[in-house]
Amino acid sequence: GIKQLAAFQGDTILALGGGSAIDAAKAMKFFGKRTLQTQIAEFIAVPTTSGTGSEVTNFSVITVAETGTKIPLVTDEIQPEIAILDTNLVMSVPPKITADTGMDVLTHVIEAYVSAEANPISNALCEKVVRLVFDNLEIAFNDGSNQQARENMHLASCMAGMAFNVTSLGLNHGIAHAAGARLHVPHGRMNAMLLPEVIAYNSGLANGKVTNEPTAKRYAQLANCLNDTQTTNARIGVQQFIRQIKQLRQKLNMPATFSDYGLPKEEVQAAIPKIAEGALMDGCTKTNPVQPTGAEVTKILNSIL
């Protein structure tokens, strides 16, 4: 891609596709400038899935196939100048990919909301997106021709990108990057498998109690965005939120464990040490509300065998 970019001597990149296509274009822009001195004046992104929010972020995730790792590239140099959102481009996305990308959107805003870098503006975006996902994802999954649901999920994806572009993400993505690359599980599905367990870990939820009250309250606030009955009890709010996420995941026919996905237990267990190591090194983990140990990451992974 970089060689073709240099040979063509273009000054504009138009990235049309899903998150991987846009991320690849970002990498071409960044590394092309450094290897073949390409000069790009304008970068336009047109997403054809509703998931990554890559059209408005300075993130690119690069997979190194030889080592089974995913490396986040984060720099303002790769943020597109123009993002074009056209709902017509996502109307034909298959149900399974609709579910995967939609749960990625949900994970983005949940992690952004409890991030160490969260702020009032990102919080407002996250609260809006959580409502949009719970109101529209199941509809888009069951009826891909529903234009309103598709449009709302496309907007949700973009707004989620705007939020985590400021706040970064958390442990869920840190583990998902490492596990997805090593075990070849689609990113959104990996996030969905991890999400209830990571929320419980970050809240310190065990034996009917929470030990990390500030983070638990944040999750409870997101739960309140979805319910007519509001709760001020952090434990009840966290448990309710986890239950709602699991219910949505089930409605989307998504696996809850590696076994549900079809991976042998022995294969996953053999990969866990490297996955845990990769998760701790991942840049997304740095803004998690709790800094985990390798043993804690291992415990999370063992809980979804």
DSSP of 97-117: HHHHHHHHHHHHHHHHHHSTT
Residues 202, 280: one domain?
yes
pLDDT at residue 142, rounded to an integer:
99
Query: What distance in Å separates the CA atoms of residue 150 and residue 221, rounded to the nearest whole number?
Result: 26
Whether 264 and 154 share a structural domain: yes
Residue 68 has pLDDT above 80, yes or no: no
- For residues 281 and 305, membership in a common domain is answered with yes
Overall average pLDDT of the 143-161 stretch:
99
Of 84, 109, 137, the residue that ends a domain is 84
Instruction: Note the pTM of the prediction, 2 decimals.
Output: 0.94
Beta-strand ranges (E) seen in the chain are 12-17, 42-47, 59-64, 69-74, 82-83, 205-206, 209-210
Query: What is the mean pLDDT of the segment spanning 28-37?
Result: 87
CB-based contact 68:185 (threshold 8 Å)? no
Q: What is the mean pLDDT of residues 269-280?
A: 97
The pLDDT > 70 percentage for the chain reads: 100
Task: Give me the mean pLDDT over the 19-44 stretch.
Answer: 90
Residue 131: which domain range?
90-305
Contact in structure between 219 and 189 (CB atoms under 8 Å) = no
20 & 57 share domain: yes
pLDDT tens-place string over residues 205-230 = 988 899 999 999 999 999 999 988 88
80 with 105, same domain: the answer is no
- 37 in the Ramachandran plot: left (φ > 0), alpha (ψ -120 to 50) or beta? left
126 and 163 in a single domain? The answer is yes
**Region for 166 from its dihedrals, namely left if φ exceeds 0, alpha if ψ lies in -120 to 50, beta otherwise:** alpha
Confidence of residue 42 (pLDDT cuts 50, 70, 90): very high
Number of structural domains found in the chain: 2
Residue 8 has what pLDDT? 83
Cα–Cα distance for residue pair 43/55, rounded to 1 Å: 10
